[in-house]
Structure 1
Amino acid sequence: MTLVLAMLIDALFGEPDWAWKRLPHPAVIMGRAIGWADAKFNKGEQRILKGAAVVVILSVVVWWLGSLVPHLPFGGLIEVLLAAVLIAQKSLAQHVQAVSDGLRKSLSHGRQAVSMIVGRDTCEMDEPAISRGAIESAAENFSDGVVAPIFWFMIAGLPGLMVYKLANTADSMIGYRTDKYEEFGKFAARLDDVLNWGPARLTAIVFMIAQRRWDIWGLIRRDAPLHRSPNAGWPEAAMAVALNVALSGPRSYEGKLRDFPWVNGAGARDIGAKEVDQAVDMLWTGWLVIFAFAMLVAIAC
């Protein structure tokens, strides 16, 4: 029942800005610890070992903290609230919806909104490119920010959820193939890949169930490997096929055009705010699928 309540609180209230003006978000605390370790240890020799040690030690710490919570005064309530803030359904839907709302005002509003959720260059994006960016972010972040946290909570409770969040935060900060992080962030990147392997594929199944499209699994399996990520291709391919849109494709990073292959290349490419709205609808329908499953598990247990 803890997970059911956490999902409801997140869906209803999302990220309360008033709270984070007074208290640091748990993910922010994790990020500060990773940033401190990066500055302290990402130098000299044996950076792979140092980076691995940092992630392992921090994972042990957050697991221990998560295991303490139920034994605190009001521990049950704290556990529900912590789980709620580490699930990102409403905030994800709001950020994606902002792109659709922005596009209905102007291209510049759409570019500004999508720049909040993608890492690619946005200053010259047209409406289809903005829309693809929003839909891709919706699919990938539904897997990383909703399905995976819920999956790991079901597997290992709050400690499992917190370790997943630590690994995901570490990957987003140091898991890059750059001169600075190629070695130090390698373990974080690989751990994040391992922890997201199951949730990414489950997300594709959730989207299939949400759209009642039992016929698209073959297309998802065909196109998922086209993505440069071993996991992100699964939710992205499922979203693309379910909405009949083409995703990925060429885009620019730091002024350099990257010629990525199209995912569901036969789908519509001239897309806009309507398709972004459809992606938001699918986020909520997918959430309902997971919520129904969580309710069944709670009742059975």
Structure 2
Amino acid sequence: MLAAALLLAWTWDACFGEPRNALHPVAWLGHVLGPVGRVLRRGSPWPAFVGGALAWCVGAGVIAAAGWWLQREVSAWPWWASVPLLALLLKPCFAWRMLRDEVVAIERSLGQGVEAGRLQLSRVVSRDTSALDEAAIRETAIETLAENLNDSLVAPLFWFAVAGLPGALVYRFANTADAMWGYRGEWEWAGKWAARADDVLSWLPARITAVLLHPPLRRVDWRRLYGQSLRTPSPNGGWPMGAMALRLGVRLGKPGVYTLNARARVPRAADVRVALRYAGIAAWASVATAAIALLARSV
């Protein structure tokens, strides 16, 4: 039943993408996390850290309990009712079509000029895009595709395969909390727990994503991939981004922070199309693997 719900949710994502924010549970979650975080960040370091940790644990606990109860209750219904409802509950936990469409839109905007590309890119990244040239815009778009393939698809499906609906919901909560609270500066202490929790929950999925993007067939490939993963401040982001850089044979980086596959050439328009194809194959593989794992658990 869970495998069938996953496949139906994947079909819905492919056909319809994301609902409007007014109807999206992740947007509702953001409306709760935003005010809570703004209160917490005003505190001194220790109270802010404790408050952030408690808020995260309470939120994760409530969501896990709700997911467990919903899955248990819905599972008792006839399959023709339970599968669509479970799919409806699972769908907001991942977003492959939106990620793909945003990267396509960035490349299309570059056809209208660098300024249009910068504007489109600024919709999906938090970094300053005002000084990026055409090559840097493509680098950032490919990085976003690779890293968010994990955050937006592989990781939630991994936790769905491991722990069912509660696992997927808790991961989406953790990733959203990290996206809203997990910054340095004034968020340093209030968001520290959220950032570390997301690192822990994304640790194994990020490495799975890297293997799906660039299957290392030889020991030297593993060493190269591992070496690239150490170049980013994030303990997880370097894995899928490094895998994509090596697979494409291009340089990716964030100015003043890191450079991946530094001796390679800058990406061109054709590389974005190839990156989308590799990511699409990895996305399908992750769905198939999760479905098979769920079927195996039910036997």
- TM-score norm. by structure 2 comes to 0.89
Aligned twin of 2:210? 204
C-alpha separation in 1, matches of 2:28 and 2:69: 17
Amino acid at match of 2:125: V
Aligned ranges for residues 1-301 of structure 1 at < 5 Å? 1=3, 2-17=5-20, 20-21=21-22, 23=23, 25-45=24-44, 46-70=47-71, 71-72=73-74, 74-178=81-185, 180-209=186-215, 214-215=217-218, 216-250=221-255, 259-269=256-266, 271-300=267-296, 301=298
C-alpha separation in 2, matches of 1:41 and 1:123: 31
User: How far 1:44 sits from its partner (Å)?
Assistant: 3.7
Amino acid at match of 1:67: W
Per mean C-alpha deviation after superposition, the further-off stretch among 120-129 and 144-153 is 120-129
C-alpha separation in 2, matches of 1:249 and 1:34: 28
C-alpha separation in 1, matches of 2:258 and 2:41: 34
The answer to whether the Cα contact below 8 Å between 1:204 and 1:234 also exists between their aligned partners in 2 is yes
For residues 42-97 of structure 1, what are the alpha-carbon distances to aligned partners after superposition, in whole Å with 9 as ceiling and x for unaligned?
A: 44451111110000000011111111223157454222112122211110000011
Per mean C-alpha deviation after superposition, the further-off stretch among 291-300 and 164-173 is 291-300
For residues 210-261 of structure 1, what are the alpha-carbon distances to aligned partners after superposition, in whole Å with 9 as ceiling and x for unaligned?
A: xxx52432211111100111110000000000000111142xxxxxxxx223
C-alpha separation in 2, matches of 1:199 and 1:35: 27
1:105 partner SS: coil
User: How far 1:264 sits from its partner (Å)?
Assistant: 0.8
Pairwise CA RMSD: 1.8
- Gap regions ≥5 residues in structure 2: none
Percentage of pairs with the same residue: 36
The answer to whether the Cα contact below 8 Å between 2:199 and 2:236 also exists between their aligned partners in 1 is yes
- TM-score norm. by structure 1 comes to 0.88
Amino acid at match of 1:187: W
Runs of 4+ in 1 over 6 A off after TM superposition: none
